[in-house]
């Protein structure tokens, strides 16, 4: 089957890695770029051999001139809804960067507009596709540790994330939208849907506007107690950004994803240990290797879903359930209330 042709909207910090990931899949071809500051798009185009004539600073002009199979939206979050709507109204499938929208109402509208236009919508959610997390899920599904009753997801470090992305300092809502959209989606991938949620947030760094630490406590799946900790303010002896640690307790054992990608299963039969180091790509930043490598399988899944070859995991409707958790966490932190099933899983 021939490669899908697409245009990328937005050529900021993340776009280089996102575009490299797309091309690594072998399933697609980027034929056009948009950025409101055109010279930034021209620079990215030169890196990837995209003709300067296919670089735009106007989205409508791009959509009028270019024949594409889908649009990849990698712009600022406040542009996701209007640009998705614009593409959907032209009958174009949309792949949108996370978080999908600035509010839950906007995320719901984004999903509705694609459904009304009968076009596919996927969210470029790569965290659950990390090599070690997939291996952990595979081991968990074997059921060797028995009935699961408690789990902990740990993403805590002191990485200077604002150095590469200084705009994050200005966000009124930071870690829950930026990392929480990843971590809470991973929680859903591992444990199912949440029926209750309670959250605390903190702003530790005085130079930023939003929160840089959050704890979200949920009841998920068949009564599993899940705690998700996220922080860019945690000063550990061994700081292994951007690894995510997982601990799951069952009535017959314990399963852990720990530092350096080791998965350890402890049962009455003993300890099984295996290391699941992510693949390395020449274009990836070594500091982000674990996350950059996960872009490839995430986007391969989306591309093959658009071709009708397999089911896509990170659909807009699926990711909307993650967004409900993100915004419910803010509401819980603001009010001190436990958020229930009627909000998290509306009929």
CATH number at residue 70: 3.40.50.720
Q: Is pLDDT of 320 > 90?
A: yes
pLDDT tens digit sequence for 7-25: 999 999 899 999 999 999 9
Select from 123, 151, 185 the last residue of a domain.
Answer: 123
Q: Is the pLDDT of residue 238 over 90?
A: no
What contacts 172, CB < 8 A, 6 or more positions away? 209, 210
The answer on 162 and 188 residing in a single domain is: yes
Query: pLDDT by residue (tens digit) across 148-167?
Result: 999 999 999 998 989 888 98
Residue 310 lies in a domain: no
- Whether 105 and 220 map to the same domain: the answer is no
Among 123, 145, 171, the domain boundary falls at 123
Q: Are residues 152 and 170 in the same domain?
A: yes
Q: Are residues 93 and 192 in the same domain?
A: no
214 CB-near residues (< 8 Å, 6+ apart): 175, 176, 180, 199, 200, 201, 202, 229, 230, 231, 329, 333
Is 30 domain-assigned? yes
Residues spanned by the domain of 212: 128-277+316-344
pLDDT tens, position by position, 182-201: 999 999 999 999 999 999 99
- Judgement on whether residues 50 and 97 belong to the same structural domain of the protein: yes
64 shares its domain with 116: yes
Q: What is the CATH number of the domain that holds 337?
A: 3.30.360.10
How far, in Å, CA of 43 to CA of 346, rounded? 45
Decide: 310 and 301 in contact? Cβ < 8 Å. yes
Number of domains in the chain: 2
Q: Per mean pLDDT, which range of 122-131, 188-197, 207-216, 230-239 is the poorest?
A: 230-239
Structure confidence at residue 288 (pLDDT): 86
Residue 234 and residue 178 share a domain? yes
CA distance 251 to 235: 33
Q: Which residue has the tokens 């530092």?
A: 259
Tell me the pTM.
0.96
Answer whether residue 180 is part of any domain: yes
Q: How many residues make up the chain in this entry? A: 347
Q: Distance between CA atoms of 190 and 141, rounded to whole angstroms?
A: 9
123, 151, 179 — which closes off a domain? 123
């Amino acid at each position: 089957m021939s490669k899908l042709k697409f245009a990328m909207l937005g050529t900021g910090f993340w776009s280089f890695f996102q575009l490299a990931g797309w091309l690594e899949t072998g399933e697609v071809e980027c034929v056009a770029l948009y950025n409101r500051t055109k010279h930034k798009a021209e620079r990215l185009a030169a890196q990837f051999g995209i003709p300067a004539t296919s670089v735009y600073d106007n989205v409508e002009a791009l959509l009028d001139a270019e024949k594409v199979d889908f649009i990849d939206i990698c712009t600022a979050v406040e542009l996701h809804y209007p640009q998705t709507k614009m593409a959907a109204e032209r009958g174009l499938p949309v792949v949108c960067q996370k978080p999908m929208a600035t509010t839950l109402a906007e995320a719901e509208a984004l999903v509705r507009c694609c459904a009304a236009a009968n076009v596919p919508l996927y969210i470029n959610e790569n965290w659950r596709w990390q090599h070690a997390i997939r291996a952990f899920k595979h081991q968990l599904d074997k059921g060797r540790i028995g009935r699961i009753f408690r789990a902990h997801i740990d993403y805590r470090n002191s990485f200077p994330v604002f150095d590469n992305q200084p705009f994050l300092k200005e966000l009124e809502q930071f870690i829950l939208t930026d990392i929480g959209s990843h971590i809470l989606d991973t929680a859903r991938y591992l444990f199912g849907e949440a029926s209750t949620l309670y959250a605390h947030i903190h702003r530790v760094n005085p130079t930023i506007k939003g929160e840089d630490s959050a704890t979200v406590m949920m009841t998920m799946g068949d009564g599993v107690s899940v705690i998700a900790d996220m922080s860019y303010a945690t000063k550990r002896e061994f700081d292994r950004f951007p690894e995510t640690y997982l601990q799951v307790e069952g009535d017959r054992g314990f399963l852990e994803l720990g530092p350096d990608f080791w998965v350890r299963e402890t049962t009455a039969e003993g300890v099984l240990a295996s290391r699941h180091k992510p693949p390395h790509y020449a274009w990836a930043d070594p500091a982000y290797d674990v996350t950059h490598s996960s872009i490839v399988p995430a986007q391969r899944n989306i591309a093959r879903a658009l071709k009708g070859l397999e089911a896509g995991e990170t659909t807009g409707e699926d990711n909307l359930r993650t967004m409900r958790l993100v915004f419910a966490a803010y509401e819980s932190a603001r009010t001190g209330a436990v958020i229930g099933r009627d909000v998290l899983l509306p009929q």
